[in-house]
Structure 1
Amino acid sequence: MTNYILRLDDACEKRKIESWNRIESILDKYKIRPLVGVIPNCEDPSMDDYEFDYDYENRLKSWVKKGWTIALHGYNHVYSTKSGGINPVNFRSEFAGEPLEVQKEKIREGLRILKGYGIKPKVFFAPSHTFDEKTLVALLEESDIRIISDTIAYDSYTNYGFTFVPQQTGKVRSLPFKKVTFCYHPNTMRDKDFEELEEFIFKNSKKFIDFPTNTVTRRFNLIDWILKKLYFLRRK
């Protein structure tokens, strides 16, 4: 049976609070606990117009108390290269193409900030899904994180010393995978997006699982390779 995971990107002090409240209400209604990517030090100018949450720390703690999984979502969410790295979903990156020491500092500082909120994430995913081998080295050397939410595959697999939990689509849909992660950005969701999401959850609520934080031994195989090739061919 296919299992579904919901991932929410771009949680930070400045965000579209109304939309975050709306999606939280839907998830609470169906008892779904998502993976939430937190930007430790957001300097992305595209978020400047959002409302500042003066109760941000308590909101983070309330998510943790509910059992939501918190992920380190980069450091500042500012794209400094045009590299797609080893997961070229996009050709812009905060990490891919940057020197190792720069990446290590971002990981180190991001974790320091989250530690100040009492949060020690077990999961990482990069802005725009783009990272490279140096990102993985930085994580190995600067953190205890060994789980990454990203790449295209049929199911979770191990590589480079990490467990990769695949992330395949930006909206709810049926896909031929054992584990499917839907990636949503509440800051930019429209009414239609919320309606489609809730309708899908209503019909498939029993298939949703918490984000898995266990490591696996399964290797990336031929089926994964074919699905990955088809995915990137379709994007082109």
Structure 2
Amino acid sequence: MRLDDASEYMDVEKWQRMENLLDKYGIKPIVGVIPNNQDPDMVGVYTKDERFWNKAQQWQEKGWSIALHGYTHVFETKEGGINPVNSRSEFAGVPLERQKEKIRLGVAKLKEHGLAPQIFFAPAHTFDENTLAALKQNSDICVISDTIATDVYYKNGFYFIPQQSGKVRKLPFKTVTFCYHPNMMQENDFAELELFMSECGSRFTHFSDDLLKRREVNAADEIVKWVYFFRRKEK
């Protein structure tokens, strides 16, 4: 389970509801924290949560995995990079030095508040080779939560934990990441999620070093990726 867009500007009630639900079923997610949120879709909508950083520390203490989710969450290009789920990005198409600055400042901000990011995923899922270079040069992060595959794989010094679905569903893959944005969830989303958890909660796992494997991408991964992006293009 992966949660996107945690920051000082978020829907506090929905995030608390999600936290309660995850705790009920003993599920520990990857949670993406925006270090310096400047996205007007959040900053201009939600009241600043003065307790956010304390909450994030509590998430970490109870075993949630902290991820660096970009830096400002403001899109600077219309590029999709190496994971073109969307045609907008804070990272893809941005010069390397600018990306290095974003990573450096983002990691520093999280560490300033006692958080140790182990994972990276970009806003809108979009990043490029320069993003990976920036992570190598300006952080200790070597795990990416994104891309389409049947299982965790290793490539160019990074472990990729695939993220294949924006809602819970049964999929025929060894490792599946469901990506939720609590800020945007509606009543039916919570109901659907709890039903799935009540039936399949024991099958969830949390991020750990045991999940990481130096597996190479194979033909099955390439087929799943092709089908995913073909269907997305058709929509």
| TM superposition score normalised by structure 2 | 0.97
Could you tell me which residue of structure 2 aligns to residue 21 of structure 1? 16
Could you tell me which residue of structure 1 aligns to residue 109 of structure 2? 113
Could you tell me which residue of structure 1 aligns to residue 219 of structure 2? 222
Query: Per-residue displacement from partner, 1:89-116 (whole Å, max 9, x unpaired)?
Result: 0000000000000000000000010011
Could you tell me which residue of structure 2 aligns to residue 144 of structure 1? 140
1:142, distance to aligned residue in structure 2 (A): 0.4
Query: Per-residue displacement from partner, 1:161-204 (whole Å, max 9, x unpaired)?
Result: 10000000100011111100000000000000000000000000
1:51, distance to aligned residue in structure 2 (A): 2.4
1:229, distance to aligned residue in structure 2 (A): 0.3
Kindly provide the amino acid, as one letter, of the partner of residue 120 in structure 2: F
Question: Are residue 201 (structure 1) and residue 197 (structure 2) matched?
Answer: yes
Could you tell me which residue of structure 1 aligns to residue 6 of structure 2? 11
Gaps of 5+ in 1: 1-5
Match of 2:189, SS state, is helix
More strand by share: 1
Computed over aligned residues only, the root mean square deviation of the Cα atoms, in angstroms, reads 0.8
User: Highest relative contact order (Cα 8 Å, sep 6+), 1 or 2?
Assistant: 1
Percentage of pairs with the same residue = 58
Match of 2:31, SS state, is strand
Could you tell me which residue of structure 2 aligns to residue 92 of structure 1? 88
Kindly provide the amino acid, as one letter, of the partner of residue 158 in structure 1: Y
| CA 79–127 in structure 1, closer or farther in 2 if over 3 Å, else same | same
Query: Per-residue displacement from partner, 1:46-81 (whole Å, max 9, x unpaired)?
Result: 002112211112101110111000000000000000
Gaps of 5+ in 2: none
State which of 170, 188, 208 in structure 1 corresponds to 2:184.
188
Match of 2:100, SS state, is helix
Q: Which runs of 4+ in 1 moved over 3 A?
A: 212-215
Match of 1:179, SS state, is coil
Kindly provide the amino acid, as one letter, of the partner of residue 2 in structure 2: R
Query: Per-residue displacement from partner, 1:108-148 (whole Å, max 9, x unpaired)?
Result: 00001001111121100000000000000000000110000
| TM superposition score normalised by structure 1 | 0.96
Could you tell me which residue of structure 1 aligns to residue 30 of structure 2? 35
Structure 1: how far apart are the matches of 2:46 and 2:91? 25
Counterparts of 1:158-169 in structure 2 under 5 Å?
158-169=154-165
Kindly provide the amino acid, as one letter, of the partner of residue 118 in structure 1: G
Aligned residues: 231
